[in-house]
Amino acid sequence: MQPRKRLLTTVTGAAIGLLWCASALIAETAETGETSAQTARLISVDGAITEILYALGGEAQLVGVDTTSLYPDATEDIAKVGYKRALSAEGILSLNPDRLLMTDDAGPPEVLEQIARAGVDTHPIPDTPSVAGLHETIAAVAAVLDRTEAGAALSAQLDDELAQLEAATRASSKRPRVLFLLHIGSGNDMAAGRDTAADTVIRLAGGENVLHDAFSGYKPLSAEAALAAAPEVILVTQRNLEQLGGLDAVLERGALQATPAGQAKRVLAMDGPLLLAFGPRLAVAAAQLASELGIIDEETDGRSGLTAGQP
């Protein structure tokens, strides 16, 4: 097995092992009698929440998901309730849900109020794009499912995966300067500052977000700002890359071609749901990016003490 792939295999294998453990734990508790939390009909209005529900073994209770819920592939067979910021009360209520799990940006507010008045329990779930925030998200979803032990196990596994990744990236001296652009095919290029999923994944991967200190959230990127940031790598989603027509089309945007990344033609594309969902696959996303950035190489991976397939 190639050295760069060992860490990805380790993290992915660990996640699979966790799913088995969580399912076993849930099976044991089910023998003592089902609770209303474990039989409630659920709708998830966020991709990360949906991934966590699957990781905790709650997928059988899902009767609807929003359009950001793209993973795992099994979500394709679940009824869609639309985009999480443009929900329809009629569509959601037609699925006869007991509980609606959502992030704070779900809406419109009047639709959520109508759903609540209809007797559906609405559960706002925190979604701060940080490791601590993800632990809070996992705990909140686990509480709704009454599966707190499985939630604690998922959080512990996440910490273990991230610790393995940190050990590997710390052994490398490479700290490439990365610029992440979002929705670059529709008007202004939106760049990621701090307090974003992209910023956290870049830093967990061992890279440096060139706009971390510039602003919070996503903001339009001017030609002047792109030149001043001087990124060594431009990171986009695979979907954006395909929409624009490839690497050269990305570099034609604004002043990107004049940056160090543009001169070297260093444009990386990653699966959007993996990179930005900020769910149980966080370590997988960061490990993949670290590998693509060349931060994890033969020397650092060899000293990390990781073994393929470790549960």
**What are the 10-residue block averages of pLDDT along the chain, 311 residues in total?**
56 52 47 64 98 97 97 96 96 97 95 97 95 98 97 98 97 96 76 98 98 96 94 96 88 90 96 96 98 77 36 28
Query: What φ, ψ does residue 135 adopt, rounded to 5°?
Result: -60, -40
Question: What pLDDT is recorded for position 304?
Answer: 39
Based on the fold, state whether residues 100 and 192 are members of the same structural domain: no
Confidence (pLDDT) at 254: 77
Looking at the domain assignment, is residue 160 inside a domain?
no
- 21 belongs to a structural domain: no
φ, ψ of residue 222 to 5 degrees: the values are -85, 165
Are 298 and 180 within 8 A, CB to CB?
no
Is there a domain that residue 197 lies in?
yes
Helix residue spans in the chain (DSSP H):
3-30, 47-55, 89-93, 109-117, 131-145, 148-170, 197-204, 223-229, 238-244, 247-251, 260-264, 272-276, 282-293, 298-303
Tokens of 212: 């971390």
Would you state the pLDDT for residue 25? Answer: 46
Q: Do residues 184 and 270 share a domain?
A: yes
Number of structural domains found in the chain? 2
What pLDDT score was predicted for residue 5?
Answer: 55
pLDDT at residue 257 in the model: 94
pLDDT at 58: 96
pLDDT of res. 309: 33
**Triad 130, 196, 70: Cα angle to 5°:** 90
